[in-house]
């Protein structure tokens, strides 16, 4: 399977703990995006990378959130001191800049903060 | 502001009938729209897109109509099948620079198929 992959698929954590999610984009896609989706809602944009550079961050991305893409391939999203309001599906998408805007989404990581 | 909304949260359709999912948008400057399908436990899957210089685009069993005058989009699915059961999102894009875009999703319509 050469699509976008995300790990873990599910994460349950206690409030106050730190969590880290990983996204592996489609090979050679230079653009990578993180979105958050709460139940019954559409995904909301969080941040975007072109290669290893983080070029855009949403106001939704508080100081407790940090994303990296150190080698321009996989990306990690870390949430520090998790809160119950962080419970959501975290989706990653990737696109190839040359071919246009189509973003391919991964299956997501479902986070539950208890 | 940035807003894409849907008229109906749920839609139930008889198998074999056509489905029509409607969507309203508020940003008159939007020039690119996308429909996504999201099945349970999966990420959104691109179905079809349309640019603002078009009013209709057809794919395999799907048609998207764009009415810029009333800022309305619709997705038509012909001969609906059980595999079409999912949540459908309309979306618009906003530029991020360097030709990249972020997707602004609506809240979704759940399509269920009656046998």
Give the mean pLDDT of B93-101.
77
* Average pLDDT, integer, range A33-44: 92
pLDDT tens string A90-114:
999 999 876 556 899 999 999 999 9
* Mean pLDDT for the stretch of residues B66-90: 95
A8 touches chain B (CB under 8 A): no
Which tens digit of pLDDT belongs to each residue from A8-22? 999 999 999 999 999
| A95 neighbors A103 (Cβ within 8 angstroms) | yes
- The answer to whether the CB atoms of B43 and A93 lie below 8 A apart is yes
Mean pLDDT of A42-70: 93
Whether the CB of A4 is below 8 Å from some CB of chain B: the reply is yes
Is B96's CB within 8 Å of A105's CB? no
Q: What was the pLDDT predicted at A101?
A: 64
Chain B closest-CA separation from residue A30 CA (Å): 11
Go through B61-88 and write b for each residue having 16 or more CB atoms within 10 A of its CB, e for each that does not. ebbbbbeeeeeebbbebeebeeebbbbb
CA distance A20 to chain B (A): 19
pLDDT of residue B3: 52
Kindly indicate the confidence band of residue B2, based on its pLDDT and cuts at 50, 70 and 90: very low
């Amino acid at each position: 399977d050469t699509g976008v992959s995300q790990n873990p698929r599910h994460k349950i954590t206690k409030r106050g703990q730190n969590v880290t999610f990983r996204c592996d984009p489609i090979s050679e896609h230079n653009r990578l995006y993180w979105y958050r989706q709460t139940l019954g809602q559409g995904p909301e944009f969080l941040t975007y990378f072109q290669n290893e550079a983080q070029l855009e961050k949403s106001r939704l991305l508080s100081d407790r959130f940090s994303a990296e893409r150190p080698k321009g391939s996989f990306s990690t999203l870390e949430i520090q001191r998790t809160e119950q309001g962080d419970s959501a599906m975290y989706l990653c998408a990737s696109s190839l800049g040359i071919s246009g805007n189509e973003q391919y989404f991964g299956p997501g990581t479902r986070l539950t903060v208890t | 502001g940035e807003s894409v909304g849907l008229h109906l949260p749920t839609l139930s359709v008889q198998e074999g009938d056509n489905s029509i999912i409607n969507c309203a948008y508020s940003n008159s400057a939007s020039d690119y729209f996308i429909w996504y399908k999201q099945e349970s436990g999966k990420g959104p899957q691109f179905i079809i897109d349309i640019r603002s210089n078009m009013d209709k685009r057809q794919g395999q069993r799907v048609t998207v109509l764009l009415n810029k005058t009333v800022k309305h989009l619709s997705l038509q699915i012909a001969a609906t099948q059980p595999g079409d059961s999912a949540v459908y999102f309309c979306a618009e894009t906003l530029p991020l620079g360097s030709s990249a875009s972020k997707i602004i999703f609506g809240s979704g319509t759940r399509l269920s198929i009656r046998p």
